[in-house]
A and B are shown apart, each in its own frame.
Chain A
Amino acid sequence: MSQIKIIEIKEGIFEQNNQTAQELRNRLKEDKTLLINLMSSPGSGKTTTLVSTIEALKNDIRIGVMEADIDSDVDARSIDQTGARVVQLHTGGMCHLDAEMTRQGIEALDPSGLDLVILENVGNLVCPAEFDTGAHKNVMILSVPEGDDKPLKYPLMFSIVDLVLVNKIDAADFFDFDLDLFRRRLAKINPEIGVIPISAKTGQGMTPWFDWLKQQVHKL
């Protein structure tokens, strides 16, 4: 006769992930490699921003990239052309990366000698917000065409990031994105957050972002 036995687990769904993330974060800190998790909707300009960032900083900081774009290596190729160390992560159609997948990506990349690793997360404003990847800093890109009301629609994402890059400001004349209104909406959700308006395409406004990155690498 088989009986039924109850095994109590009583554990938050994200606890295991949070623990793996914390271990990864500590290890990378010991190795003096800063991990940045870069998130946005598809097409906001993650890859374009990465490419121009690597071009601008490659003589100052040794940068590696982990690409998690779903089922494509287009992004990894554009990064590869900058000469930076890059790995393509295969997320198998998942809508986010968790800490274990990030850890495996780091192994594959081999972070030794790198000052900075940037993770281009899956294009999505919902799911990546819920999974700690083990990054030291979380950065998101919101592009001008997406609108200034996004903090209202995706409060969790805006509450977990340290910095928002408002991209495509070269196209500001064609859209009704109100930067002041955006800042006010954001401040309600996350008063600590930094905002840097940029154009990854023209290079406008990129210097404060480069300075922020250098400062974070330095601080680690």
Chain B
Amino acid sequence: MIMHELSIMLEVVRRVEAVAKANGSPKVKTIVLQIGEAASVIPRFIEDCYDAAIHQTTLEETKLEIEIIPAMGRCLDCRQVHHLRDSQGICPTCRSKQFEMLSGREFQIKQIAVEDHYESDQNH
């Protein structure tokens, strides 16, 4: 499974490098990923393979931050919104197991933080 996360992270690295390049190739300080609790990747595995994924790329000194998005469901019977991890998928109000997913499957690159050289460039 680690291999799976690694190849996905290589994709992330490629994408972030492309975005950085399109923005004048600044130094990328941080990558922020958002991963839903019900996404098909495991945040800890993502962290484990991150160093390998950035090895010998322009992101070698870039830090990784992961924001976890809770998996929330809305009960189809009584409309109660519940956190699927705590409720185990069962509505705490009416015990129904039917729900629609509101969030939790996300797996996206939220943003990157880059060094902005605007002022120092003016001084040169």
Contact = CB atoms under 8 A, between A and B. Distances in A.
Interface of A: 1-14, 16-17, 94-96, 98, 126-127, 130, 156
A3 B116 contact: yes
Contacts of A16: 11, 15
B120 A7 contact: no
B7 A127 contact: yes
Majority SS of interface residues in chain B?
mixed
Nearest to A97: B7
CB-CB nearest 6 A-B residue pairs: A5-B116, A9-B109, A2-B115, A3-B116, A95-B3, A127-B4
B26 interface: yes
B2 to A, nearest CB: 10
A5 B114 contact: yes
B53 to A, nearest CB: 12
B25 interface: no
B119 A3 contact: yes
A4 B120 contact: no
A11 B31 CA distance: 13
Given A2-B116, A13-B12, A17-B11, A7 B111 contact: yes
Interface string B55-71: 00000000000000000
B4 A7 contact: no
Contacts of B11: 13-14, 16-17, 98
A1 B111 contact: no
B12 to A, nearest CB: 6
Interface string B15-35: 110010001001001000000
Contacts of A7: 19, 23, 111-114
Contacts of B4: 95-96, 126-127, 130
A165 to B, nearest CB: 24
8 contacts: A2-B116, A6-B114, A9-B108, A9-B111, A12-B107, A13-B107, A127-B3, A127-B7
A16 B22 CA distance: 15
Contact of B117 (A2, A11, A13): A2
Contacts of B116: 2-5
B110 interface: yes
Given A7-B113, A94-B10, A130-B8, 9 more contacts: A2-B117, A3-B116, A4-B116, A9-B108, A9-B111, A12-B107, A126-B1, A126-B4, A127-B7
Contacts of A96: 4, 7
B111 A6 contact: yes
Contacts of A130: 4, 8, 40
B110 A10 contact: yes
A156 to B, nearest CB: 7
A95 B7 CA distance: 7
Given A13-B8, A13-B12, A95-B3, A3 B108 contact: no
